[in-house]
Structure 1
Amino acid sequence: MLHVLAVFAAAVLFGTTGTSQALGPEGTTPLAVGAVRLAIGGTGLALFAFALAHRHRVRADRTGAAPPLSLRSLPATRARLRPLALMVLTGACLAIYQPLFFLGTERNGVAVGTVIALGSAPIMAGVLEWALTRRVPSGAWMVATALATVGVVLLGLGGGAAGSGAGGTDPVGLAGSLGAAASFAVIANAQRRLLDGGWDPFTVVGAMGASSAVISFAVLPFVDLSWLSTAAGLAMALWLGVATISIAYVLFTWGLSGLTAATAATLTLGEPLTAAILGLTVLDERLSVLAVAGLVVLAAGLALLAWGSRAARDPRPFAVEG
């Protein structure tokens, strides 16, 4: 039960990301908010995750169990460089994900931007895995992909607020959400490969946090951070960094270690659900009838994807969320 609560709590925390940014001070940019979020959250995630990974190694030593792989346990050869490169790649993709995700929510609203990004992400991850491994997806996955694609198209055509005359989703914002989804797809497949190779989940996630934080700190001198001097700006940065990155990813990783793939996939649907509810209620966003239809169709695709995952392979935590 604790693992279920951990993953669901993480999904809810992830789902507050877009609304938190929307409620923040004026004068922010997607790049600045994303960089600050990861500078804080990536650092905290690395500290938490590496501490838990060390605890796992100590416990393995005490019980005589085979310890998970770590960079220190490998010789300084290609055996170490290849997994290190994959870990750095996940951090780079997480850093890229941030401004693209916030661009999508800024241009199209939290409900539409978040659901497009999160709804497209598992589909793109599956397509990339198909291309890399030649593993034929299940029939349920194909139907879910078709539904999700139709849902995204409907959102793209009718994402404007009802009665606003917007005439559809902003194309730049749509590109941002889809780009964020593509970044997630790379992360998912890279982490899947590492975990299949015997790496400890917390080592993998901690390395992602550390490398993303390094990239974000390099970006900070080139963005406007004046909004951080306000109470609202500081509160937003701390929430986005500590709550939706550091705490959420640790809960997510730990919770997935004790769940089946089907249960985990279903629980992670709490993220787009939370984002949509907050966007429509807290932010008072309005959607056209076509956009609502798109949300329903996309939700059906995600639900089918969760149902179909009951026959998935090893349910180790290979994917991260927003």
Structure 2
Amino acid sequence: MENYHEHLKGVIAIIIASFLWGTTGTAASYSSDVSSFAIGAFSMGIGGVLLVITARKKLLLDYKVMLEQPKVLILGGVCVAIYPLAFYTSMQLSGIAIGTVISIATAPFFAAILERIISKKSISLQWILSFVVGAIGIALLTLGKDQSNNTAYRINQQSLGILLGCIAGLTYAGYSWAARRLIESGVHSKSSMSGLFGCAALLLLPSLWFTGDNLFSSSTNALVSLYMAIIPMFLGYLLFGFGLNYIDASKATLITLIEPLVATILAVFIIGEKFKVIGWIGVILISLCLLMQSIKPQN
């Protein structure tokens, strides 16, 4: 019973984080004159600095253990740095809903492969079934977007956005695996996430010298930039790190399929993106995938 309650705490923490992350595309759309690179670098970079500040006591206790695994630390940090650049550019090119969907939907597949190849962990039947249901839902959601006004150029843009979404999914799985690996070696979840994000901040924040001209050029841009850094990035990843204490990275990334649901709903009702009935069937299947993952812990 205790294991079930711990599992449930992890699931709930990651679901809340996913809700927060699902708002990022809609929020970013209100600062259209800011480049996707600048939004990604600022939100993830400042979020990383805040994580390091709040976890400084844990980091002082754990940094030696983390430095004993330099490859894991560097891989995770590089993945964190690449992820927001690919993710926000994907949304800019292919639309908020599809960019978010592809980025998040491909992550469980990559996470399971990493855990299988590197950590030698088995893939459960529950995970396979829920992944199949989720993948079908993702495909229907993507196909369900209204393409009536798309030109050939726009379709090519969307294809590039989908490719970048796959890169985002791979790097998302990469840093989720790295965080979990550090936690399994005895590092506290706060130290794990803040260490990876602190490394990424060292790479991301200097890039704002070239890309960040408009981040604070208006009150709207300033509010969007601060919201993205503090709420989805800082608070969201605190919750995500907490959840990784109790569940594997492949399961965690699968639960985050709730993020594209939130992103899609906001994109439709606030931004005005349009989807056919088949797209909403995809939403139902993704919800079923989440239910399959949340009801019963894996043995």
- TM-score higher than 0.5: yes
Of 212, 216, 232, 2:220 maps to 232
Determine if contact 1:163/1:288 at 8 Å carries over to the other structure. Answer: no
Percent identical among aligned pairs is 26
Determine if contact 1:35/1:219 at 8 Å carries over to the other structure. Answer: yes
Return the offset for 1:306. 4.1
Query: How does 1:35-114 map onto structure 2 within 5 Å?
Result: 35-51=41-57, 53=58, 70-72=62-64, 81-114=67-100
Q: Which residue of 1 aligns with 2:268?
A: 280
Of 37, 48, 58, 1:31 maps to 37
Determine if contact 2:99/2:162 at 8 Å carries over to the other structure. Answer: yes
Report the structure number with the largest CA radius of gyration.
1
CA gap 1:252/1:292 in 2 versus in 1, 3 angstroms: same
CA distance in 2, matches of 1:255, 1:124: 19
Deviations 1:53-72 (A, max 9, x none): 26xx8xxxxxxxxxxx6224
Of 248, 255, 264, 2:236 maps to 248
Of 121, 124, 130, 1:138 maps to 124
CA distance in 1, matches of 2:243, 2:79: 23
Determine if contact 1:48/1:246 at 8 Å carries over to the other structure. Answer: no
CA distance in 2, matches of 1:246, 1:33: 14
Return the offset for 1:176. 1.5
Instruction: Work out whether 1:176 is the aligned partner of 2:164.
Output: yes
Aligned residues: 288
Determine if contact 1:50/1:202 at 8 Å carries over to the other structure. Answer: no
Q: Which runs of 5+ in 2 are unaligned?
A: none
Deviations 1:275-317 (A, max 9, x none): 2221121112102344444444444444434456x115xxxxx
More divergent stretch after superposition (226-235 vs 245-254): 245-254
CA distance in 1, matches of 2:254, 2:131: 16
> Which secondary structure state, in structure 1, belongs to the residue aligned with residue 118 of structure 2?
helix
CA distance in 2, matches of 1:202, 1:140: 29
> Which secondary structure state, in structure 1, belongs to the residue aligned with residue 69 of structure 2?
helix
Give the residue type in structure 1 aligned to 2:146: A
Q: Which runs of 5+ in 1 are unaligned?
A: 58-68, 75-79, 313-322
Query: How does 1:217-228 map onto structure 2 within 5 Å?
Result: 217-228=205-216
Instruction: Work out whether 1:121 is the aligned partner of 2:107.
Output: yes
Return the offset for 1:175. 0.9
Deviations 1:209-264 (A, max 9, x none): 2111111123222225234221111111101111111222223334665x677x97
Instruction: Work out whether 1:311 is the aligned partner of 2:278.
Output: no
Query: How does 1:187-202 map onto structure 2 within 5 Å?
Result: 187-202=175-190
CA distance in 2, matches of 1:273, 1:160: 14
Deviations 1:105-140 (A, max 9, x none): 112222222122222212221122112234331122
More divergent stretch after superposition (271-280 vs 144-153): 144-153
Return the offset for 1:6. 5.1
More divergent stretch after superposition (28-37 vs 93-102): 28-37
Determine if contact 1:6/1:251 at 8 Å carries over to the other structure. Answer: yes
CA distance in 2, matches of 1:144, 1:267: 10
CA distance in 2, matches of 1:119, 1:71: 32
